[in-house]
């Protein structure tokens, strides 16, 4: 557990002291009010308890008389059952009243009532038994005596209730007077505690927030750029004093940093001007190098020369040579187009077929080419030259180095709303380090010069990300490979996304 939770110092000590005092005042006030209310309730409860008890006793005696009379007149079994139930209840009450150990006037009257109830029950039992024995002269006599006893009991109960009411009235008057005093005292205590709490809250709030307000006002002036302020002088024994000292040091440091930044800005301005001059020179040199390279070989001249060679081979009857030269010419013609112009997926597949024809012509049975293409997807627009570099990479790094025949398979299908272009080979495979190097967006493709088009895997990945505006490499390409198990490269083409065609 964090020990600082129980360390009371500084602002925490002030707030805790205020809350503790406030809580004690409200707690004492509430406890006192509750104690007085409980006393009043207990006194009122004692008054009504006796009255309710005597009233219920009177009702039970009336019910007993009614049930006996019903049984004697109708000999109903329900009346007899009700009689015995009420009789047992009254017998218990009578015993409790007889056993009262006090001897004041009310207690003596209760003892008399208890004895009379026992006599009443004796007479009613005799009347019931006589009725059950069908001795009509006896049960009438017993019932008559029972009625007389019942009248005496009711008279005693009424007298006792009257005494209780008189006594209760006196107690109630006293309680009412006490209640007025207690209510006034409770209101006075509540008002006093509220006023004390408000005063304490104002005092503690002012002491805590005054230095914080000074700090906030000074901080607002600094936020507007006004650093010409006097150091804050706060004398407290809490964290605000430490905060004020740190704030003064911070203002001084900010002034020093601003001066340093101004000096650095001047130096950086000079450096940027020099960098701009250097960049202009580099651009001029780069343009010169490109023009020099373009002057060394004219791609269109090469393409036209290949077409001429194809026509000569056709006229001489060398059909295979003519077809081979024609495929090479088509490959160059496809790659002469600008890479920023989109093409259909069918054009990409046809370009791969041309490239594979050239490979099979050169290497014979060294490589076998297989396809499984969903033709309904071939009209989708994609960036130019994205499949052929992957196929070429599969041949150079997967098939060419193994002994015997290798297989390159292309699968194009729709998966979860995107087009997956799988290039699968059963070649040498690669380890995870090589996969990570290919998938690294910042690592240039060192093997690009080995490709016919000069376009390597890194170039394909970056063009896909730019074309479809995708930041995560995993959303455009996925590579599965293992040493000796071949490689599967999956290009992911979003449906309905990308640059304008």
- pLDDT tens for the 501 residues of the chain, in order: 454 555 555 666 666 666 777 777 777 767 766 676 677 676 666 667 777 887 888 888 888 888 888 888 887 888 888 888 888 888 888 888 888 787 778 778 888 888 888 888 888 888 888 887 776 667 788 888 888 888 888 888 888 877 777 776 777 677 677 777 777 777 887 788 778 778 877 877 777 677 777 777 777 777 776 666 666 666 666 666 666 677 777 777 777 777 778 788 888 887 887 777 556 545 543 443 444 334 334 454 454 555 555 555 556 555 656 566 666 666 666 665 555 678 899 999 998 888 888 888 878 788 899 999 999 999 999 988 889 899 999 898 888 888 888 999 999 999 988 999 999 999 898 898 888 888 875 554 445 445 555 567 888 888 888 888 888 888 899 999 988 889 999 999 998 765 443
CA 380, distance to chain mean position in Å, is 42
What pLDDT, on a 0 to 100 scale, did the predictor assign at position 334? Answer: 62
CB 115 within 8 A of CB 98: yes
Residues with Cβ within 8 Å of residue 387, at least 6 apart in sequence: 348, 349, 351, 352, 410, 421, 423, 491
pLDDT computed for residue 487 by the predictor: 93
Q: In angstroms, how far apart are the furthest CA atoms of the chain?
A: 157
Predicted local confidence at residue 300, as pLDDT: 46
In this prediction, residue 488 carries a pLDDT of 94
Q: What is the pLDDT of residue 310?
A: 55
The whole-angstrom separation of Cα 276 and Cα 283 is: 11
CA distances to 36, 179, 180 from 184, rounded to whole Å, are 12, 8, 6
DSSP string, 375-441: GGGTTSEE-SSSSHHHHHHHIIIIITTSSS-EEEEEEEEEETTEEEEEEEE-S----HHHHHHHH-T
* pLDDT at residue number 264: 82
Task: Compute, in degrees rounded to 10, the torsion defined by CA atoms 114, 115, 120, 122.
Answer: 120
pLDDT at 284: 40
Which tokens belong to 310?
């194809």
DSSP-based helix, strand, coil % in the chain, nearest 5: 70, 10, 20
User: Distance (Å, rounded) from C-alpha 318 to C-alpha 309?
Assistant: 11
Q: What is the pLDDT of residue 477?
A: 92
Query: CA geometry: angle at 134 spanning 129 and 138, to 5°?
Result: 65
Q: How far apart, in Å, are the Cα atoms of 40 and each of 33, 36, 121, 244, 379?
A: 11, 6, 39, 57, 94
Q: Determine the pLDDT at residue 385.
A: 85
């Amino acid at each position: 557990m964090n020990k600082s939770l129980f360390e009371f110092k500084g602002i925490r000590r002030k707030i805790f002291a205020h809350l503790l005092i406030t809580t004690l005042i409200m707690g004492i006030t509430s406890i006192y009010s509750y104690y007085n209310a409980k006393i009043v309730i207990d006194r009122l409860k004692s008054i009504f308890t006796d009255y309710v008890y005597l009233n219920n006793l009177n009702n039970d005696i009336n019910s007993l008389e009614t049930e006996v009379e019903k049984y004697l007149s109708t000999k109903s079994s329900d009346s007899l059952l009700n009689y015995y139930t009420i009789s047992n209840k009254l017998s218990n009450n009578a015993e409790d009243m007889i056993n009262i150990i006090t001897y004041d006037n009310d207690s003596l009257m209760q003892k008399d009532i208890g004895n009379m109830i026992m006599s009443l029950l004796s007479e009613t039992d005799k009347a019931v038994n006589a009725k059950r024995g069908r001795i009509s002269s006896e049960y009438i006599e017993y019932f008559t005596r029972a009625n007389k006893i019942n009248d005496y009991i009711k008279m005693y109960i009424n007298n006792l209730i009257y005494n209780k009411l008189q006594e209760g009235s006196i107690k109630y008057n006293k309680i009412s007077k006490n209640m007025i005093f207690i209510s006034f005292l409770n209101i006075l205590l509540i008002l006093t505690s509220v006023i004390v709490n408000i005063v304490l809250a104002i005092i503690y709030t002012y002491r805590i927030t005054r230095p914080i307000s000074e700090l906030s006002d000074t901080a607002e002036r600094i936020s507007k750029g006004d650093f010409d302020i006097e150091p804050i002088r706060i004398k407290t024994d809490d964290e605000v004093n430490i905060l004020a000292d740190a704030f003064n040091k911070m203002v001084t440091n900010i002034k020093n940093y601003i001066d340093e930044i101004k000096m650095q800005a001047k130096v950086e301005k000079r450096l940027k001007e020099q960098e701009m001059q250097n960049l202009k020179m580099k651009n001029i040199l780069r343009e010169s190098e490109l023009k020099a390279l373009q002057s060394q070989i004219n791609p269109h001249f090469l393409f036209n020369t290949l077409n001429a060679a194809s026509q000569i081979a056709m006229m001489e009857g060398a059909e295979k040579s003519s077809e081979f030269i024609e495929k090479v010419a088509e490959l160059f013609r496809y790659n002469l187009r600008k890479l920023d112009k989109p093409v259909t997926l069918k054009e990409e597949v046809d370009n791969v077929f041309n490239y594979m024809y050239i490979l099979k012509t050169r290497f014979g049975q060294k490589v076998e080419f297989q396809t499984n293409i969903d033709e309904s997807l071939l009209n989708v627009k994609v960036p130019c030259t994205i499949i052929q570099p992957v196929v070429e990479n599969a041949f150079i790094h997967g098939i060419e180095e193994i002994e015997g025949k290798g297989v390159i398979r292309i699968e194009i299908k729709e998966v979860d709303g995107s087009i997956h272009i799988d290039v699968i080979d059963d070649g040498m495979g690669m380890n995870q380090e090589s996969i990570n190097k290919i998938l690294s967006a910042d690592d240039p493709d060192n093997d690009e010069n080995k490709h016919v088009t000069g376009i390597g895997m890194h170039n394909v990945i970056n063009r896909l990300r730019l074309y479809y505006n995708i930041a995560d490499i995993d959303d455009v390409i996925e590579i599965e490979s293992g040493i000796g198990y071949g490689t599967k490269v999956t290009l992911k083409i979003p449906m309905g996304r990308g640059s304008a065609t």
